[in-house]
Structure 1
């Protein structure tokens, strides 16, 4: 079957869930000493700050990716090599696939074999690093459970803790289950997220929106959450916010907009996010200035797969660059590059063809996790 068994835009809920993953779903994924994350003076900074390195993970499961695995590995390697032009990249790979990872990624990417992985979605499985503004660094784990037990995750559930241990920083477990792609932070106290992804019994049964907002703020060092309804049950992530809306800086945000003629669930979701952000304020009470990033015409992109994710907004910021995607709608691709160059002056905008990864419903932000400099 030339498509993932689990697709992030349209999935089979039971596929890919192993007995080990199912058993793990009901247990804590942190260490015995893991504790609810304390706010203290630590805060997750905005992604535009300088990074020490980027973390990525290497996919090697045909049970997940089927015949698409080779193409997805090539896309992951392309992203890693591109980011490595601007900052160090560490790729976590299982020992059996490390040689292929090294061969495709090249000498500019460090391949680490001591942190086992199930898949490539490091944004969701990796640690969320925090800084205290005084040289301190720690990490928070979001209790990854395979996007609500939809995919094998026995190894991935431990990636955050193991990366934190490798870096040598304190690790805590957040008081919620979620993924890094489900939460956007501005680094100054404001978060945004979709209810569909987090206020969801497949991740946080019995917890109210208010309880989850408090847990998110504690984990991220924030004080306000801007909620969107999102899209429930249509993709494996339950509609992560980072495919549609991003913070540019405190008081500034971006929303990828659909064509005026589009009226599917994701188009309606994007318009709602734009409306809510346009009238929202930051934690400090500042109105949020919202920029629009026009999405492509799905009739003009290269992929004809109905599950394809064509998100320019799912870009990754690294030191001196913006790494985004292009999809074959040449007019929209050029316009997106120009918009990102305008919004991030002084950074090089790199656009990559990651169509194989996009067919799996993900993008560049989904497979990267930054470690901020202190």
Structure 2
């Protein structure tokens, strides 16, 4: 729970993802070395995502090179607006700004980005936030601490979810304790209750981003996953998250995890059905295994009345380290 954060009065509020959106930004792959030398599989899945999302919201695609621009134009045509800005690769949730609503309209909150704790430093990533805010014509407010957008989730009524594994990791902000984080988050996003989870998924490149394990789907209502199959590598982690959230007095719903997904290296990939994107009229869900994906989609549909729940393949995107939510950033209406 927040303590010091409750005493801070913020000037700007972060809307929940289900609030009306003016546009949805999406990244486009450009660094072949980040994709095992093969961009085509990821580009095909991202193109399918963009075509689907464009049926519900205007989509803007961030392309970081002339080659990326040409490939996106060839695959997308007039489906989306292509915008050439500095990007390392596709992960706009973490490298782009976070758009809040203030007394004078939208504002872009930008944070220091250090390549997920120095593990994946890509040229252009530290310029993406300012460039994207400039395209949107929104004033940029720079904060002097490291934060990635996938590390937090809000319900629009003062609550924020995060994990200690990521936010208190010394590879982000040295010396931070819970109180330091709570004050910083309260000032940036207008929240007054911080809900701390422990660890994220095993082998998660992001050091446990919360958008892979728990998401608000309504005020005070959190969605997370239950284990799928005897070999689910995250069974203990997922059950601990459910228990923790229920002790916080929140409404908790669960859907099936993808189970164990192996990309060929012998390690369990950080695959999650939680890495969906919510937009106007739709929820677009990553699917890695058709059997478990169909189960998760059937469990999700009653939880999003009025929205179409759509599953799309995302195994090739996962090879880059994330999925649909990681590569997108909504612009509040």
Q: Same fold (TM over 0.5)?
A: yes
Q: Is the 8 A contact 2:34 2:320 kept in 1?
A: no
2:138 is aligned to: 169
Are residue 193 (structure 1) and residue 162 (structure 2) matched? yes
CA 1:149–1:297: 2 relative to 1, 3 Å: closer
Pairs within 5 Å for 1:1-374: 40-93=10-63, 94-113=65-84, 115-132=85-102, 136-231=105-200, 234-259=203-228, 261-262=230-231, 264=233, 266-280=234-248, 287-298=249-260, 306-330=267-291, 332-373=292-333
Determine the C-alpha separation between the residues in 1 that align with 2:268 and 2:189: 32
Tell me by how many angstroms 1:175 deviates.
4.2
Report the secondary structure of 1:191's partner residue: strand
Q: Which runs of 5+ in 1 are unaligned?
A: 1-37, 281-286
Tell me by how many angstroms 1:231 deviates.
4.7
1:109-159 superposed Cα distances (whole Å, 9 cap, x missing partner): 11111x111111111111110013x66100101212110111123411121
CA 1:276–1:88: 2 relative to 1, 3 Å: same
Report the secondary structure of 1:142's partner residue: strand
1:245-297 superposed Cα distances (whole Å, 9 cap, x missing partner): 00011110101121363574x332222211111111xxxxxx31000111133
| TM-score, reference length from structure 1 | 0.81
Determine the C-alpha separation between the residues in 1 that align with 2:55 and 2:69: 21
Determine the C-alpha separation between the residues in 2 that align with 1:78 and 1:174: 35
Q: Is the 8 A contact 2:212 2:275 kept in 1?
A: yes
1:51-86 superposed Cα distances (whole Å, 9 cap, x missing partner): 000111222112322323221122222211111111
Q: Which runs of 5+ in 2 are unaligned?
A: 1-7
Pairwise CA RMSD: 2.1
The aligned length equals: 324
Q: Is the 8 A contact 1:68 1:356 kept in 2?
A: no
Q: Is the 8 A contact 1:81 1:105 kept in 2?
A: yes
Tell me by how many angstroms 1:100 deviates.
0.4
Flag as ranges the 4+ runs of structure 1 deviating above 6 A: none
Determine the C-alpha separation between the residues in 2 that align with 1:308 and 1:234: 7
| TM-score, reference length from structure 2 | 0.91
